[in-house]
């Protein structure tokens, strides 16, 4: 670590300790105070929302190249009948743009879905002659793209340094550890290390910006615990060195008892809270536990007190008996019936928390959120399973865009940026009824500050494997898995810079960034 970096780290820790007063070491260990950032979080409110697609999203069927050459290779590997009429494998090749949907075809089948949805691009030289499209289910995502509020980041994945296909074949060349492993690559995406890492780049961004949340008063120490929040599964990505993720429920804020009652009794709640708050021991460990509990209760009560009801516009339907019965949170599934969208439900909670910041006058200027959508490990039943996930993603993105545009305090779409991430992409080849693990993948970024209507990075060239299974494309490895051309470090840098983190501080939390040309650190999809 350089002396300047060490000095900045020391100053941040010193600022954190001084603002906590007598509770310094204990308060810091509880992660209720952030490090002072080397830069202030100027301007108004901003938030990042990560949608993690658990299981490894098949990006080959999410964003497609549809120019004649690309399409030929795509069909060769996704529709086995195109090369061998006797092959009994199920085709997972989507249909050409403009192909009419056949409502009589099997649910989830390419014929039932109809053609892929074309998206325009500016004709950057790297994409000259290329044509692109989205999965047929991404109807509203296509509209967001056309409205310049959604962009595509092509072929991004974990990289130690720029890597060619020849480099990949060299055992001595540095590559991310344990490629193609679910748990390890989820962790690597989130933290740049395989399974077992304790902090992620979302949490580290929170570390750098949390000191700007609130004005330094003692009550703000509790408010700063709302910097990194998840209504989904806890993850490495949201954990920093000081900040710890704050988990909430899908519909309410967990706390002691229920609505300030324990076993339905308000007096019992008061008694239990009094016992937990009482200083009954000189033992430092007992005191530490009591302070943890006390601050947890304070945080819960503070957030729950400001959280607006779920059945309110713009995020909910007036009169809805519960979030599970709210028509705004339902999507039309592959079978054609209405079902509650768990991803939209998580995003509803985020919208309510963002408004709680306004209603409660919390003074929070930077927040980082994470939500999850699972079941992307489509080794089998690709057509129905992947279509189901795309329907959920499409509905949730459109729902959240609409909600952010109609927030009670005004349109917040330019202040909230939502992006996708996943374990990895998947194979180009058809394994009989699905796809296998890959590496690089395409992702979506949505928001009013996004320079939408464009495909960023370098979209891969497709090829057809020879008799030995070797792909001629320099972008495709075994089974056609994509070799990333943009690193997660660059993806994170672009998002972090928009949040107001300085390039110097971003370099300190993105371990491989220095291996990439400085002119390419910012990929360009944020305004």
CB 452 within 8 A of CB 520: no
Q: Omega of the bond prior to 314 within 30 degrees of 0, cis?
A: yes
Burial 149-174 (b: 16+ CB within 10 A, else e): bbbbbbbbbbbbeebeeeeeeeeeee
> What is residue 123's predicted lDDT score, i.e. its pLDDT?
83
Would you write out the chain's pLDDT as a tens digit for each of its 527 residues?
444 444 444 444 444 333 333 333 333 334 334 343 434 455 699 999 999 999 999 999 999 999 999 999 999 999 998 888 888 899 999 999 999 999 999 999 999 999 999 999 998 999 999 999 999 999 999 999 999 999 999 999 999 999 999 999 999 999 999 999 999 999 999 999 999 999 999 999 999 999 888 754 555 888 899 999 999 888 999 999 999 899 999 999 987 777 777 788 888 878 877 777 676 677 777 777 777 777 788 888 899 999 999 999 999 999 999 999 999 999 999 999 999 999 999 999 999 999 999 999 899 999 999 999 999 999 999 999 999 999 999 999 999 999 999 999 999 999 999 999 999 999 999 999 999 999 999 999 999 999 999 999 999 999 999 999 999 999 999 999 999 999 999 999 999 999 999 999 999 999 999 999 999 999 999 98
Report the largest interatomic distance among the alpha carbons of the chain, rounded to a whole angstrom. 80
Whole-number Å distance between alpha carbons of 477 and 169: 10
Domain boundaries, the chain: 1-30, 47-207+237-246+330-520
Reported pTM = 0.91
Q: Whose CA is closest to 129, among 71, 170, 185, 177?
A: 71
> What is residue 484's predicted lDDT score, i.e. its pLDDT?
98
Whole-number Å distance between alpha carbons of 440 and 424: 6
Other beta carbons less than 10 A from residue 371's beta carbon: 23
Whole-number Å distance between alpha carbons of 198 and 179: 19
Whole-number Å distance between alpha carbons of 20 and 35: 12
> What is residue 37's predicted lDDT score, i.e. its pLDDT?
42
The tally of CA atoms less than 13 A away on the side-chain side of residue 169 is 9
- DSSP string computed for 32-63: -SPPPPSS---SS-EEEEEEEETT---GGGTE
- DSSP string computed for 63-129: EEE-SHHHHHHHHHHH-GGGT-TT--SPP-PPBPTTPPP-TTSPTTSHHHH-B-EEE-----GGGTT
> What is residue 217's predicted lDDT score, i.e. its pLDDT?
52
CB 456 within 8 A of CB 526: no
Whole-number Å distance between alpha carbons of 412 and 407: 7
């Amino acid at each position: 670590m350089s002396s300047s970096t060490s000095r900045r780290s020391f100053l941040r820790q010193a600022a954190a300790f001084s603002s906590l007063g007598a509770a310094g070491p204990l308060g810091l260990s509880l992660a209720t105070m952030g490090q002072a950032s080397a830069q202030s979080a100027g301007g108004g409110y901003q938030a990042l929302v990560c949608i993690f697609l658990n299981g490894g999203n098949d990006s080959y069927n999410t964003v497609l190249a549809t120019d004649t050459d690309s399409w030929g290779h795509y069909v060769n590997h996704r529709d086995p009948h195109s090369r061998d009429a006797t092959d009994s494998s199920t085709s997972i090749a989507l249909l050409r743009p403009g192909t009419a949907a056949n409502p009589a075809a099997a649910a989830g089948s390419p014929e039932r879905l109809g053609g892929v949805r074309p998206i325009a691009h500016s004709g950057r030289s790297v994409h000259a002659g290329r044509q692109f499209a989205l999965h047929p289910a991404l109807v509203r995502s296509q509209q967001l793209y056309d409205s310049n509020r959604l962009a595509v980041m092509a072929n991004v994945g974990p990289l130690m340094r720029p890597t060619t296909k020849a480099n990949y074949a060299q055992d001595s060349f540095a590559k991310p550890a344990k490629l193609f492993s679910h748990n390890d690559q989820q962790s690597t995406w989130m933290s740049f290390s395989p399974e077992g890492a304790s902090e992620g780049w979302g949490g580290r961004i929170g570390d750098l910006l949390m000191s700007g949340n609130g004005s330094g008063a003692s009550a703000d120490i509790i408010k700063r615990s709302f910097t990194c929040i998840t209504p989904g599964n806890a993850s490495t990505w949201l954990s920093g060195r000081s900040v710890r993720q704050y988990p909430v429920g899908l519909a309410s804020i967990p706390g002691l008892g229920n609505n300030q009652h324990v076993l339905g009794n308000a007096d019992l709640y008061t008694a239990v809270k009094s016992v937990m708050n009482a200083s009954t021991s000189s033992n430092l460990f007992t005191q530490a536990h009591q302070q943890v509990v006390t601050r947890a209760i304070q945080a819960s009560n503070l957030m729950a007190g400001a959280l607006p009801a779920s059945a309110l516009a713009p995020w909910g339907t007036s009169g809805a008996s519960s979030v599970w019965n709210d028509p705004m949170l339902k999507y039309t599934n592959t079978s054609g019936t209405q079902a509650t969208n768990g991803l939209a439900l998580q995003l509803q909670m985020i919208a309510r928390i963002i408004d709680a910041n306004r209603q409660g006058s919390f003074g929070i200027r930077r927040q980082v959120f994470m939500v999850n959508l699972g079941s992307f490990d489509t080794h089998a039943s690709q057509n129905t399973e992947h279509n189901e996930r795309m329907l959920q993603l499409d509905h949730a993105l459109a729902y959240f865009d609409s909600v952010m545009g109609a927030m009670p305090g005004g349109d917040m779409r330019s202040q909230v940026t939502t992006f996708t991430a996943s374990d990895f992409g998947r194979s180009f080849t058809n394994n009989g009824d699905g796809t296998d693990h890959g590496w690089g993948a395409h992702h979506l970024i949505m928001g009013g500050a996004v320079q939408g209507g464009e495909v960023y990075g370098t979209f891969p060239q497709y090829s057809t494997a020879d008799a030995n299974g070797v792909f001629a494309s320099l972008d495709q490895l075994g089974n056609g898995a994509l070799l990333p051309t943009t690193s997660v470090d660059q993806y994170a840098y672009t998002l972090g810079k928009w949040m107001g983190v300085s390039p110097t501080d971003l370099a300190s939390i993105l371990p491989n960034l220095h291996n990439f040309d400085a002119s390419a650190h910012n990929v360009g999809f944020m305004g």
